Amino acid sequence: MKAGVFRGERDVRVEEVADPVLRDPDDAIVRIVRSSVCGSDLWPYRGHAPWQPGWRTGHELTGIVEEVGDAVEHVRPGDLVVSAFAWSCGTCEFCRAGLQTSCVRSTYPGGADNDGGQGELVRLPMVDGSVWKVPDGTPEDRLDAVHLLSDVLLTGYHAAKLAGVGEPGIDGEPVRTAVVVGDGAVGLSAVVSAKLLGATTIVAAGHHAERLELAAQLGATVTTDLRGDELHRHLLDLTDGGAAAVMECVGTAGAVATAVEVARPGGTVSMVGVPRFVDEWPMGTFFSKNVAFRAGVAPVRAYMDEVGPAVASGELDVSAIASHRFTLDELPDAYAAMDERRCIKAIVVPE
């Protein structure tokens, strides 16, 4: 089969590799129908993560089950499934609590040991605990949107959950004012999610006019492309002194500093991107404003049952986030397009 292989900085290739075979009784073999390039794929691509040549690429995948091991109970050949970007057993203490990214057997697609999402086939371990079955009859043209459940959409949802959108704030009333810092795929997903969880004032802050326009379509009530102190002042004005929920969807020191500056005293800042270059921590501001900080790798499997049906039915239309399509052979172009910010999300469709 063909699969994406990391060969070095800014060098991801599509190569011929061995077809996967069942290894453990809880494995499945899945034929991939949708994959994608993620913002976090760009860290190794740009040489900022310790990756080795030969490692397999991609952690986001949707596909059709071809074969299952003897111990698989809930998934059958022919099922169309979305895989969580982190694989999990579904039965340990953390999986049962909805924190599948802390599964005691947790492992990720791609890298040194596993097939990646960017390929034709994948050996998918612990399939019962790692995938969500797409409802029968979901139209083909909704697959790009459904595939976003594998990571970005539900990572944005996690940002909104961690920030406490819709939960009681310090006055006991549900938090309805949210600020999203960042206009990438996760930031846009956080906007959608804040709306879903009941926010009525949603401010999206970013630097790309066309993405902010999309943020407005997806539920942002205000958008802004200001920077630095001007941005802080504007956001504090808009929120009458700060937002109770602030979602940091960039993953840099500057974005964290902005997030806590514009948080309301007693509010919460959440962060869901893989942190890089966050070495300066605005501890004094967190301290003086009693702002809570919650961060973490999203347990997307936990949210699939909650959000998936509305995406599959089209009731929640997030297809605009899946902005560009590439074939598997065009994978190097898909990486370049993401790297150069020419697209919000590169969807990869094997032939």
Listed in sequence order, the residues at least 6 apart from 25 whose beta carbon sits closer than 8 Å to its beta carbon are: 69, 70, 71, 72
Task: Report the distance separating Cα 222 and Cα 201, nearest Å.
Answer: 8
Task: Report the distance separating Cα 328 and Cα 326, nearest Å.
Answer: 7
Nearer to Zn ion, 89 or 215 (CB): 89
Q: How far is the CB of 94 from Zn ion (least distance, A)?
A: 6
Tell me the CA distances in angstroms from 259 to 40, 167, 293, 339, one per residue in order. Answer: 20, 19, 10, 24
Q: How far is the CB of 62 from Zn ion (least distance, A)?
A: 13
Tell me the CA distances in angstroms from 268 to 6, 162, 178, 244, 347, one per residue in order. Answer: 37, 8, 10, 6, 32
- Residues found near Zn ion in the complex (CB under 5 A): 38, 88-89, 92, 95, 103, 151
Beta strands (DSSP E) in 161-319 are 177-181, 201-205, 222-224, 243-248, 263-271, 292-295
Give the other-Cβ count within 10 Å of 189's Cβ.
29
What H or E segment, with its residue span, contains residue 36? strand 28-37
Task: Report the distance separating Cα 108 and Cα 130, nearest Å.
Answer: 10
Nearer to Zn ion, 231 or 274 (CB): 274
Q: How far is the CB of 186 from Zn ion (least distance, A)?
A: 9
Q: How far is the CB of 314 from Zn ion (least distance, A)?
A: 23
User: In the bound complex, which residue of the shown chain has the CB atom lying closest to Zn ion?
Assistant: 38
The most distant pair of C-alpha atoms in the chain lies apart, rounded to whole Å, by 60
Residue 231 DSSP SS3: helix
Nearer to Zn ion, 38 or 212 (CB): 38
Nearer to Zn ion, 60 or 261 (CB): 60
DSSP string, 246-274: EEE-S-SHHHHHHHHHTEEEEEEEEE-SP
Task: Report the distance separating Cα 326 and Cα 142, nearest Å.
Answer: 16
Nearer to Zn ion, 38 or 175 (CB): 38
Nearer to Zn ion, 117 or 206 (CB): 117
Q: How far is the CB of 85 from Zn ion (least distance, A)?
A: 5
Q: How far is the CB of 59 from Zn ion (least distance, A)?
A: 5
Nearer to Zn ion, 66 or 128 (CB): 128
Q: Is the dihedral of CA 35, 157, 303, 319 positive or negative?
A: negative
Q: How far is the CB of 104 from Zn ion (least distance, A)?
A: 6
Nearer to Zn ion, 95 or 196 (CB): 95
Q: How far is the CB of 36 from Zn ion (least distance, A)?
A: 7
Task: Report the distance separating Cα 67 and Cα 73, nearest Å.
Answer: 12
CB 37, CB 94: distance < 8 Å: no
Beta bridge partners, 15, equal 3
Q: How far is the CB of 261 from Zn ion (least distance, A)?
A: 28
Nearer to Zn ion, 38 or 343 (CB): 38
Q: How crowded is the C-beta side of 289, counted as CA atoms within 13 Å?
A: 24
